[in-house]
Structure 1
Amino acid sequence: MDLVKHTGGCHCGAVRFEVLSSPDLHVFQCNCSICTKKQNHHFIVPKNHFSLLQGSDDLITYTFNTHVAKHTFCKTCGVQSFYTPRSNPDGYGVAPHCLDPGTVRSVTVETFCGEKWEESMQAHKSIRDMSKPEADAQLKNTQ
C-alpha cells in the first residue's frame, strides 16, 4: 500500500498535524446532527498514523450524547481539522479540506446515514476496521 505523509492544519495555523494515509482518500459525508451543522467530511486513520505537530494548547473539545466522539477544534479560528469519531474512537477522522495541497490524488465520497447511526454502523462492513493499523491494506483491497 502506498502511504503518503499529508500535512495540514486549521485556518489560523495554530494547529498543525501530519497524517499517513493513501493518496486516494475514502471520505465519509455524514448527516448526523453535528456533521450536518458543520459539514463534517472526514477520512479515518489509525491513531498511530496521526501526529499533532503543534497546537495542543490551542484545541478545545466538544462532546454530546454518548460523549464517545471528541470534536476538537481550534479555539482561535474555530476550524475542526480532525476529531475522534464515535465510529472509530481508536483513530482519527481527518478533514480532507484541511490538508495542504499536493499529496491527494483522488477523493471518493461515501454517504453515511448518521441520522440512523446504530443501524448504519451495523450495516457498514468496514468502517470500524479503518482505524486499525492494518486498515490501509484492507482499504486498498476494497477499492
Structure 2
Amino acid sequence: MTDAIKPRSGGCHCGAVRFTADLPDQIVGLSCNCSICAMTGFIHIIVEPDQFHLEKGDGTQTEYTFNTRTAKHLFCPVCGVKSWYHPRSHPGKVSINLRCFDSDQNLSGRIVDFDGANWEKNVEQINPELGE
C-alpha cells in the first residue's frame, strides 16, 4: 500500500523561511558526511521542484557556494538555518532538511548514509540507495 502524498510544512528556526513539500508518510533521508552536511547535521529529503513550495522567505535567504560552486546553499538571514537548498548531487532538484519539518508532520522512514566526503567516488551510489 502506498502512502498518500500530502503537503508537509516546515521552515527555519525563527519562522522567516517557511515551506511545504508534497511527501508520503514514509520517506528516505540521506545522511551525508561531506564537510558542510557533517557540520550542520543536514538530513536530505530530495524532491522534484514541483513538490517544493516556498511559502515565506523568497528572495531573502543568503546564498553560499564553495568548491565547484554547483550547490546553492540557502540560509535564513535572521537565524542562519539552512532548511532547504539546491544540491550538487541532484541537479534540478531540491534538498530539504528533514530536521526542519514541523514536528507534527508524521514523517517516518529510514536514513541512508552517504559518503559525501568522497563525493566524486560515491555519487553514483546515491540514486540506488534512495530507491530511485
Cα distance 1:53–1:121, how it changes in 2: closer, same or farther (>3 A)? same
Q: Contact conserved, 1:74 with 1:80, CA < 8 A, in 2?
A: yes
TM-score between the two structures when normalised by the length of structure 2: 0.90
Task: Give runs of aligned pairs for residues 46-57 of structure 1, distance below 5 A.
Answer: 46-57=48-59
Residue in structure 2 matching 1:26, options 25, 28, 36: 28
Larger helix percent: 1
**1:96: how far off?**
1.3
2:96 corresponding residue in structure 1: 94
Gaps of 5+ in 1: 131-137
Aligned partners of 2:12 and 2:76 also within 8 Å: yes
C-alpha RMSD over aligned residues: 1.7
- CA distance in 2 between counterparts of 1:124 and 1:114 reads 10
Secondary structure of the equivalent of 1:90? coil
User: Unaligned regions of 5+ residues in structure 2, if any?
Assistant: none
Q: 1:108 aligns with which of 110, 117, 121?
A: 110
Shift of 1:84: 0.8
Q: How many pairs were matched up?
A: 130
Percent of matched pairs sharing the same residue = 37
TM-score calculated relative to the size of structure 1: 0.83
